[in-house]
Amino acid sequence: MANPSLLILAGDGIGPEVMAEVRKVIDWFGANRNLAFDVSEDLIGGAAYDAHGVPLSDETMARAQEVDAVLLGAVGGPDYDNLDFSLKPERGLLRIRKEMDLYANLRPAQCFDALADFSSLKPEVVGGLDVMIVRELTSGVYFGEPRGIHKEGNERVGINTQRYTESEIARVARSAFELARRRDNRVCSMEKANVMESGVLWREVVTEVHAAEYSDVELSHMYADAGAMQLTRWPKQFDVIVTDNLFGDLLSDLAAMLTGSLGMLPSASLGAPMANGRPKALYEPVHGSAPDIMGQGKANPIACILSFAMALRYSFDQGDEATRLEKAVEAVLADGLRTADLIGEEGRSPVSTSEMGDAIIAKLAESV
């Protein structure tokens, strides 16, 4: 039987640096857990623009459609700020999400005990936090038409359109309900039904899917702005949150800071099942390309490594091995190792990107 296939798109900025540590982890699983992958690499974002004049080539897009999963680092940087909007690095990321139809973006917000004091909230508020935000990823205001900037009279007008169909809402709601069944069996749906017609439809469709297929799951509704407030007041009240593209982007970044750093948060973007039964999938850290620390060994690789753990769990049915990797990360943090983004105490010296990766490999070795 052929090994499962992975396409690595390291991207820009710190993307190649954190992805190098993921490669160490992948190699360790192949050498020590009889879990080998066929790994290939390609370009996306600014790196692809430099090589091909586009943020994602047709050839790379085709490869992404063929593999079992895609691992992505980060895209963007100031060198590309003056490009036409259609050529900006971020357009490559939006294209791959859209063409692979990766409609369900899973963003866990988990606070490791060792980092509870590093959060901006009180330790008792965030200690043991484990929330999953399911963000609709391929529709909504980021993709709706009409869009653009045009002239009306003597001034410019910027237009973006919030648009959702019933089927788009229903399928991401199902993803959230299925996920909740494997967790604490609770879903909170967030929108702005008080002021947006798309929010009214969102609430209606989520309610209909729940009544018809998932009545065993506890469902609640909350306006997205109230949800943001509640996430900072008492985040442990939530299990699974399902929301649209824009609100999911905002709420998941807010939840990221509850855990102490964007450098800690992975994500999975899942689509419809392929012929082998696995969902089309792309895994990436929530953080950006951080060009200000590129090449300095300061980047935190944990979010990217935990993204690979999500790939083990959701694409390759290797939940036990995913847990092994997550526990290795937790053990390293418990030992007090911190990259620069996690330094809060005076006098503590940070470890480098590669040192953090090596420490996680050492903990993996102890787990065998």
DSSP, collapsed to helix, strand or coil, labels residue 206 as helix
CATH number at residue 153: 3.40.718.10
Q: What is the pLDDT of residues 105-128, one digit of tens each?
A: 999 988 888 888 777 788 888 888
Last residue of a domain, one of 258, 275, 309: 258
Question: Is position 138 within any domain?
Answer: yes
The whole-number pLDDT of residue 271 equals 92
Q: Is the pTM of this model over 0.85?
A: yes
What pLDDT is recorded for position 360?
98
**What is residue 344's predicted lDDT score, i.e. its pLDDT?**
65
pLDDT at 345 over 60: no
Question: In the numeric block, which tokens belong to residue 270?
Answer: 């899942």
Same domain, 212 and 280: no
Quick one: which of 67, 75, 78, 80 has its CA closest to 39?
Answer: 67
7 and 98 assigned to the same domain: yes
Amino acid at 207: T
Average pLDDT over residues 292-310: 96
DSSP state of 12: S
Same domain? 252 vs 301: no
Model confidence at 156, in pLDDT bands (50, 70, 90)? very high
Annotated catalytic residue: which of 49, 103, 142, 283? 142
Residue 75 to residue 288: CA distance in whole angstroms: 7
Q: Are 286 and 255 in contact (CB under 8 A)?
A: no
Q: What are phi and psi of 194, to 5 degrees?
A: -75, -20
Our answer to whether residue 283 is catalytic in this structure is no
299 and 219 in one domain? no
Task: Give the model's pLDDT for residue 2.
Answer: 84
Domain boundary among 203, 236, 258: 258
Residue 18 pLDDT exceeds 60: yes
Q: 147 with 254, same domain?
A: yes
Distance of alpha carbon 104 from alpha carbon 63, whole angstroms: 21
Task: Give CA 84 to chain center in angstroms.
Answer: 26
pLDDT of residue 200: 98
Whole-Å CA distances, 23 to 10, 41, 239, 259, 269: 11, 11, 31, 25, 20
**Is 253 annotated as catalytic?**
yes
Whether 122 is catalytic is no
> Is 164 annotated as catalytic?
no
250/287 same-domain check: no
Candidates 42, 68, 244, 249; catalytic one: 249
What's the mean per-residue pLDDT of the chain?
Answer: 94
Report pLDDT for 267: 93
pLDDT of 342 above 90:
no
Does any domain span residue 120?
A: no
Q: Is the pLDDT of residue 323 over 70?
A: yes
The one catalytic residue among 98, 253, 327, 358: 253
Same domain membership, residue 241 and residue 155:
yes
Q: Are residues 215 and 311 both part of a single domain?
A: no
Could you tell me if residue 114 is inside a domain? Answer: no
Question: Sign of the C-alpha dihedral, residues 139, 142, 148, 149?
Answer: positive
Query: Do residues 161 and 180 lie in contact, with contact meaning Cβ atoms separated by under 8 Å?
Result: no
Using the 3D structure, point to which of 258, 278, 311 is the last residue of a domain. 258
Catalytic residue among 192, 280, 298, 363: 192
Q: Which of 225, 236, 327, 358 is catalytic?
A: 225
**How many structural domains are present in the chain?**
2
Is residue 124 domain-resident?
no
72 & 161 share domain: no
Instruction: Give yes or no: residues 100 and 167 share one domain.
Output: no
Q: What is the mean pLDDT of residues 185-191?
A: 98
Identify whether 192 is a catalytic site residue.
yes
Full domain range(s) for residue 135: 130-258
Same domain for 143 and 103? no
pLDDT tens-digit series, residues 198-241: 999 999 999 999 999 999 999 999 999 999 999 999 999 999 99
Give the mean pLDDT of 75-94: 94
Q: Worst-scoring range by mean pLDDT, 161-175, 244-258, 313-327?
A: 244-258
Task: List beta partners, residue 40.
Answer: 7
Q: Which residues contact 176 (CB under 8 A, 6 or more apart)?
A: 104, 134, 187, 189, 240, 241, 242
Overall average pLDDT of the 272-299 stretch = 90
- Whether 122 is covered by a domain: the verdict is no
Residues 75 and 174 in one domain: no
Which pLDDT score, from 0 to 100, does residue 262 have? Answer: 73
